[in-house]
Structure 1
Amino acid sequence: MTNNLQLTALVGACHWIGAKGWAPATGGNMSVREDELTCWLSESGKDKGSLTPEDFLPVEIATNHAPSGRKPSAETGLHTLIYRLFPQAGAVLHVHTVNATILSRIEKSAELVLQGYEMQKSLRGQTSHLDAVRIPVFDNDQDIAALAGRIEDYARTRPLSYGFLLRGHGLTCWGRDVAEARRHLEGLEFLFECELRLRQLETL
């Protein structure tokens, strides 16, 4: 087992996520980077609110291979993709919140645009509510390799920061470390709830 302090922080973040109900029914998956070659990923089928460090297993970033033979999360390929695309990424959180799931279905375009919210400044590099924060929305796919390929194609031509939505599925977000990934998750979830309520009011 790694002595990585970030893994300890990730376990704490998982308990926080579980307490909020953001990863129900063993859903969701979380990881932390060990180094340029390896990440620690939550084992499949585990309740995220009661994870321990022993519930994470090493995965090779380049190949998605788990040397232990244990079964990592179904979305392993999305975590490793983020670590390959962004060398600065140190932690990835994938959750199934109600706000993210509903918004991902009612937003018909390829991006959810958030603008005018002070809490946009919870995202690294954002300094004004006047800026437009663009969160990509990808169609869900049980073929994770194909889905990862579409996300990688998007990232070749357009900025991909903070996170992305999968339609009818949830949010994947990341940060330089667990604390930043957790801040991005909380900030985005707040923004999603505001945007969802605003759209509901506009239909009245």
Structure 2
Amino acid sequence: MSFVNITLEQKQEVISDLRKVKNQLAERMLFPGTSGNLSMRVGDYSPEQFYFAVTSSGKDKSKNTPEDFLFVDHAGHPCENTLLKPSAETLIHCEIYRLTGCSAVFHVHTVFNNLISEWMGNGGFVTAQGIELIKAFNIWEEDAAISIPVLPNYADIPRIAAEVEGVLNPAVPGILLRNHGIYAWGKNAFEAKKHLESFEFIFEYLYRSLLLQNVPKR
């Protein structure tokens, strides 16, 4: 498989889907200070060779321009001549695609995911149990529990990417970077967004539960 075999129609479809998600999340103020990144795979997949569109580095995601996205290969290198730079965390996307074969990876920084990863992440994961939105991950057991992996927020991105394989759990489509943000993925843009929203609900629930621990029950 080669990038030259990917059609213009395929590229435009991926960019269109990414732009829709970017606009929806930007309206909810989920990209403060140009933070966060989105990507979607295009064309066929093999663990050794795949391609995806990813948000350009340093762009205002509340605006739409022709320079919002670029295409990169399985190693995070641009596939076309461009002056654009891929998001600094593209290598983490590469590892998630390689290990899962998913079609979309979305990453946001929020106050809730930052605080919960810092407060509860000492053991290398955040545990959630008995929360309704766990069903969004196709986990239907009564009072189900999940453990969301937490990785250190190293300044060296390749160092983070190297640790993804050791913690990734296919049953829980998300990884937290401590005091940084959540990566969520899915088989398409809809599923990745569903997973992202569900993780964010869970983090807010956990945070507010901590606040209520010292409040007397009536």
TM-score, normalised with respect to structure 1: 0.91
Displacement, 1:122? 1.7
Q: Could you report, residue by residue, the CA deviation over 1:151-179 in whole angstroms, capped at 9, with x for unpaired residues?
A: 12223xx5563111111111111110000
1:98 and 2:111 correspond:
yes
Match of 1:173 among 162, 165, 184: 184
Q: Could you report, residue by residue, the CA deviation over 1:44-66 in whole angstroms, capped at 9, with x for unpaired residues?
A: 011222245642111001x2211
The runs of 4+ residues in structure 1 deviating greater than 3 Å are 51-54
Equivalent position SS for 1:174: strand
Q: Could you report, residue by residue, the CA deviation over 1:47-104 in whole angstroms, capped at 9, with x for unpaired residues?
A: 222245642111001x2211334200000100111110011x1001010111101111
Rounded Cα–Cα distance in structure 2 between residues aligned with 1:53 and 1:130: 46
Q: Could you report, residue by residue, the CA deviation over 1:128-165 in whole angstroms, capped at 9, with x for unpaired residues?
A: 3511111101110111111111112223xx55631111
2:152 counterpart letter in structure 1: D
Checking the alignment, whether the CA contact within 8 Å between 1:7 and 1:53 is kept in structure 2 is no
Rounded Cα–Cα distance in structure 2 between residues aligned with 1:184 and 1:51: 24
Rounded Cα–Cα distance in structure 2 between residues aligned with 1:129 and 1:7: 39
User: Structure 2: any 5+ residue segments left out of the alignment?
Assistant: 1-6
Larger Rg: 2
Equivalent position SS for 1:65: coil
Match of 1:10 among 18, 42, 55: 18
Match of 1:148 among 158, 161, 173: 161
TM-score, normalised with respect to structure 2: 0.85
1:56 and 2:69 correspond:
yes
Residue aligning to 1:34: 42
Residue aligning to 2:85: 71
2:149 counterpart letter in structure 1: P
Residue aligning to 1:196: 207
Equivalent position SS for 2:144: coil
User: Structure 1: any 5+ residue segments left out of the alignment?
Assistant: none
Checking the alignment, whether the CA contact within 8 Å between 1:40 and 1:57 is kept in structure 2 is yes
Equivalent position SS for 1:11: helix
Rounded Cα–Cα distance in structure 2 between residues aligned with 1:3 and 1:174: 23
Paired residues in the alignment total: 199
Equivalent position SS for 1:34: strand
1:182 and 2:193 correspond:
yes
Pairwise mapping of residues 90-169 of structure 1 onto structure 2 (< 5 A)?
Answer: 90-107=103-120, 108-123=122-137, 125-155=138-168, 159=170, 161-169=172-180
Rounded Cα–Cα distance in structure 2 between residues aligned with 1:131 and 1:174: 20
Rounded Cα–Cα distance in structure 2 between residues aligned with 1:102 and 1:24: 16
Q: Whose RCO is larger (CA < 8 A, sep 6+)?
A: 1
1:60–1:193 Cα change, 3 Å? same
